[in-house]
Amino acid sequence: MKPQHWFGEIAVGLKNRCGNSLRKRAVPTRVSENWTGELERGRIVGNENTRVKIVVIGAGQAGLSAAHTLVRKSLEPGTDFIVLDANEGPGGAWRHRWPSLTLGKAHGIHDLPGLELGKPDPEEPASAVVSRYYGSYEDEFALAVQRPYRVTGVRSTRENDLSAPLEITARRADGAERTWTAQAIINATGAWDQPFWPYYPGIESFAGRQLHTKDYCSPQEFEGQRVLVVGGGASAVQFLLPLAEAGIDTLWSTRRAPVFLDREFDMNWGIDVERRVRERTEAGLQTLSVVGATGLALTDEYKRGIDQGTLISRGPLRSITTDGVVFAGVDAEAAGDIMPAWPGGHEHVDVILWATGFKPALKHLAPLKLRSPHGGIATDGARVFVDPRVYLAGYGAGASTIGATRTGRLAGTAAAQFIAD
């Protein structure tokens, strides 16, 4: 007979890294009737169970979808499985997004299984909307996400034995470590914690400011400066437009001509993303970005940005100097309306904003030696071919807003079947 549960409530105030308020709520926490521990900020602490069947790593869209699937498979949160999350509160990577990225400008937020997002204000920051939604989801299904716990390593308890339990080590912000053992893991850590910084000659000599997408907060921090945005993806475009609107002098650098597609950004677009990326992950190749697979959707706002000259690329960089950058130039063969031909040369800039994407955050899985000779991890959508104890949600073709939910479900279903066999 399953134990009865009660729900405690603790008020939690949340802010993201840019200081904007995300939400304040009461956090119901699911606890067994014979619990002898205590509650802290909505987490279970004290006599936590360190032996579980499954550990879900990450509480973003893919992780929550996986956890919901485990509940539907009659697995008990906190007893049969746990969810570990590195963030201070709900929202996954969305909680770190800059305030000017409103829900209406974000490239879609897909419903989690069992609870619709509804129709929030499109002018509200996406960070606040998603953090509130994910927090409500955790409450609705009593997932008792344990945070902040950053997983630092996953190892097999016996070498060369794929039936042995896994050992999962995680560290809190105060440095305290905990270890759990599980029959399987579902990794849903996304990519936000693994920003990609490309190298160019002279990069270390630049005297101005360099920052990455994950460091950006608002155009106001660049007042009076000339900003170079590097990268051909959605984030670059979402930086350039508000920067220009705020009167900031901008330049755009891309390795090749940006591809804007005049098509609706809808579910079919997400399915197209998955189709283009899936073959690479099945072969163990390194993953492609969403934009690398499908291009940018040409919205009315982007059309205006192109017409105004904001979304016109100067092409690739050759090197970086103490006070600027040297463009390689664009020859006639590579040139087009979005990246016109020019000989290149030196341009003064005060700031380089690297909107160059992210790599899957998988360093903690390195002890399991999952990577193929091609640099990626071969999966069939969720199951890792070389280790039946490991499932990836939100990886490869699952790294889109539609794919994250789908692969979360796949991973949850497959992991539940694995421990039942």
pLDDT score, position 26: 40
Looking at residue 343, what is its pLDDT?
A: 97
At CA 213, angle to CA 209 and CA 215, rounded to 5?
60
Domain residue extents for the chain: 5-193+359-420, 203-262+298-354
pLDDT value for 374: 87
- Closest CA relative to residue 55, chosen from 178, 194, 191: 178
Q: So what's the architecture of 203-262+298-354 in CATH?
A: 3-Layer(bba) Sandwich (3.50)
State residue 384's pLDDT score: 95
**405: nearest Cα among 58, 60, 65:** 65
| Per-residue pLDDT at 390 | 98
Q: What's the CA gap between 337 and 341, in Å, rounded?
A: 9
386: which 2 tokens? Answer: 């070389």
Residue 240: other Cβ atoms inside 10 A:
24
For β-strands 150-156 and 43-45, DSSP reports them as unpaired
Give dist(CA 3, CA 125) in Å, integer: 40
CA–CA dist 128, 107 (Å, integer):
15
pLDDT at 32: 37
In 3-state terms the chain splits into helix, strand, coil percentages (rounded to 5) of 25, 25, 45
Over the chain (421 residues), what is each successive 10-residue block's mean pLDDT?
30 55 45 37 50 97 97 96 96 89 75 90 90 95 94 96 97 93 97 94 97 94 97 93 96 94 64 68 69 72 95 98 98 94 98 95 96 90 94 81 86 97 87
CB 328 within 8 A of CB 316: yes
Q: How far apart are CA 228 and CA 289, in angstroms?
A: 21
Q: Tell me if residue 80 falls in helix, strand or coil.
A: coil
What pLDDT is recorded for position 118?
87
Q: According to the model, what pLDDT value does residue 289 have?
A: 61
Superfamily of chain region 5-193+359-420: FAD/NAD(P)-binding domain (3.50.50.60)
Quick one: pLDDT at residue 293?
54
How high is the pLDDT of residue 403? 78
What is the spatial distance between Cα 201 and Cα 375, in angstroms, rounded to a whole number? Answer: 25
Same fold, 5-193+359-420 and 203-262+298-354: yes
pLDDT of residue 107: 63
Beta-carbon contacts of residue 124 (< 8 Å; ≥ 6 apart)? 102, 103
CA distances from 67 to 84, 294, 306, 347, 378 (A): 11, 30, 42, 50, 23
Distance of CA 209 to the CA centre of its chain: 24
Q: CA of 360: how far to CAs of 53, 157, 189, 365, 393, in Å?
A: 25, 25, 8, 11, 11
- List, in sequence order, every beta strand (DSSP E) within 33-72: 38-40, 43-45, 54-57
